[in-house]
Chain A
């Protein structure tokens, strides 16, 4: 069965500090993985996807098939990064979401 695990419910860092939001998945095939973000009172929106290997708002995520991980990283956190972050795995049009990590960036 497909499963996505985000072990941290809350992550608090100071502005300018590095941040890493962890995501592990279980899936037997080649996964399609995404990070979604939900800012306060806004809709859920795509942050980045593994296949594009891009950096969005300074965030990157690398798929590590050996460790079955897709951690989200940013070298210098900003206050506006405070939001709820969901790791998601897509399989046959189903999106399986992790439980989410709330990132709080303190001034």
Chain B
């Protein structure tokens, strides 16, 4: 299994809702990432987990809350989002060593209304 699986594929939520994005991989990767990609823009790093511990937070607002319950799963909890948070959210994983490729999921297309 060489895939990163994200659910749901599409999500529409109101500004007062609480929702979660899920990501799963079974490649034994110990580094997992959340990226945000706006239309016609490159992916921007949000969070990095290494061995289930948060190692990088790129100054992301607290309305985004990541969680890594085990080595295969990565969640992104969403609360009180703004319309400008609408974007494609990408999960990725890699081996926890330098110069290793990141495997990306298909993404969750999030629309905040």
**Residue positions of A touching B, CB distance < 8 A:** 32, 34, 42-46, 49, 51, 86, 90, 93-100
Contact = CB atoms under 8 A, between A and B. Distances in A.
Contact of B42 (A42, A49, A86, A90): A86
A99 B104 contact: no
Contacts of A46: 101-103
Contacts of B33: 93, 95
Nearest to A38: B104
B99 A32 contact: yes
A97 B4 CA distance: 19
Interface stretch (B13-21, B48-56, B72-80): B48-56
Interface residues of B, number: 26
The list of the 9 closest CB pairs from A to B, nearest first, reads A97-B42, A44-B104, A46-B101, A32-B99, A43-B106, A43-B104, A93-B48, A97-B43, A100-B42
B81 interface: no
A43 B99 CA distance: 20
Contacts of A43: 4, 104-107
Interface of B: 4, 31, 33, 40-45, 48, 50, 55-56, 90, 92, 94, 96, 98-99, 101-107
A95 B100 CA distance: 11
16 contacts: A42-B106, A43-B4, A43-B105, A44-B90, A46-B102, A46-B103, A49-B99, A51-B99, A86-B43, A90-B102, A93-B31, A93-B48, A93-B94, A97-B42, A98-B42, A100-B40
A98 B43 CA distance: 9
A44 B41 contact: no
A36 to B, nearest CB: 8
Given A32-B99, A93-B55, A94-B56, A45 B45 contact: no
A49 B101 contact: yes
